[in-house]
């Protein structure tokens, strides 16, 4: 049986994690588009959208033909604006899920955070069954936990397969792409 390659839409593809994912997908020859509020690419189809607006996300999904969403959009940890975290991480993720179900997307990969289960002490030999603590570490991780809950609950809706990844301590080299396409 012939396999078909996925077509990717990287939500938050202009951010730190998203840019690396987009580059990896391009390097291996995949078809990839970016949905974000900041355009950093001139050689990749780009869709500017508010991820908390289901119709804007659905429009990008239809235009891109995406079969797999990689959702990396999030304000950075450490801000003092819980409402922004909730709008992007919770409302935005719910809108992404609804648009994915509406457009019959097959796969959704959500970037959560290891902080969603951190309760102040080392975690050893844990897996996805470990629930978030009753008192979240901060607004960022609380919003990521709520978004993760929605992603997991959406698994199987209209054939959508979902996964929530919990990376810890994301760091690395970053090159800034300026309007003139030069790297700095």
Beta bridge partners of 34: 10, 46
Structure tokens at 85: 């975290």
Write down the H helix ranges in the chain: 16-27, 54-64, 82-85, 93-102, 139-153
- The H helix count followed by the E strand count for the chain is 5, 6
Among candidate residues 94, 144, 146, 157, the one labeled active-site is: 144
CA distances from 34 to 9, 60, 108 (A): 6, 9, 14
Please tell me whether residue 107 adopts helix, strand or coil conformation.
strand
Please tell me whether residue 36 adopts helix, strand or coil conformation.
strand
| Strand arrangement, sheet containing 107-111 | 46-48, 31-36, 7-11, 68-71, 107-111, 161-165
Pairing status of strand 7-11 against strand 46-48: unpaired
Establish whether 106 is a catalytic residue.
no
Q: Report, as residue numbers or ranges, the catalytic residues.
A: 144
């Amino acid at each position: 049986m012939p396999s078909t390659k996925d077509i990717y839409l990287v939500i938050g593809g202009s951010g730190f994690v998203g840019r690396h994912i987009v580059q990896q997908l391009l390097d291996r020859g995949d078809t990839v588009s970016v949905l974000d509020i900041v355009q950093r690419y001139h050689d990749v189809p780009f869709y500017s959208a508010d991820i908390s607006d289901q119709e804007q996300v659905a429009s990008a999904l239809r235009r891109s033909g995406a079969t797999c969403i990689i959702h990396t959009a999030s304000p950075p940890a450490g801000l003092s604006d819980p409402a922004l975290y909730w709008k992007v991480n919770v409302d935005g993720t719910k809108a992404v899920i609804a648009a994915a179900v509406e457009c019959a997307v097959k796969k959704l990969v959500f970037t959560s955070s290891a902080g969603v289960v951190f309760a102040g002490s080392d975690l050893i030999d844990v897996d996805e069954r470990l629930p978030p603590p009753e008192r979240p570490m901060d607004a960022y991780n609380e919003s990521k936990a709520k978004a993760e809950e929605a992603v997991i609950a959406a698994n199987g809706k209209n054939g959508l397969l979902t996964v929530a990844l919990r990376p810890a301590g994301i760091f690395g080299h970053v090159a800034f792409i300026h309007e003139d396409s030069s790297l700095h």
